[in-house]
Every structure is written in C-alpha cells, then in structure tokens.
Amino acid sequence: MNTSTQKPVAMGNEFASLGTRLVRLGHALQEPSTTVHELVALAMACGIKLQMRAVAESEGRCDG
C-alpha cells in the first residue's frame, strides 16, 4: 500500500477510536455511580479537560 491509501484508513481508525471513547464518556456521565476521578480519566482519553464546580443549594436562597 502507498502512503495515500494508508492515511485515510488510519484517520478512520482514529476517529472510530475517539467515537468509542466519547460514547464511554457519555455513558459514564449518565451513570450516577461514576466517580469524578473516572469522569476525568475518560474525558482526558478524549482530549477533553474536564472542570467541575460544586455549588451548595439552600432553602430560601435568593440569587437576585
């Protein structure tokens, strides 16, 4: 095979692999038992920097 035919196959494999990793991340985001550590690792595998912020809710809170 020449290089021109190898690159599209390699790119297709890379996109397929990325798609698989993104699906895993999506499923993990929907699963309540997934830990933040697991989400960060899955996001990093997709080339995504995951940042989270926790905000406490309280009754009678006034945001205005």
pLDDT in tens, 6-62: 566 677 899 999 999 999 999 999 999 999 999 999 999 999 999 989 899 987 766
What is the pLDDT, as a whole number, of residue 6? 55
Q: What count of other Cβ atoms lies within 10 Å of the Cβ of residue 42?
A: 20
pLDDT at 1 over 50: no
In whole angstroms, give the CA distance from residue 23 to residue 29.
10
Spell out the domain ranges in the chain. 3-45
pLDDT at 63 over 80: no
The label of the residue with tokens 């190898």 reads: 6
What is the pLDDT, as a whole number, of residue 33? 98
Stated pTM of the model: 0.67
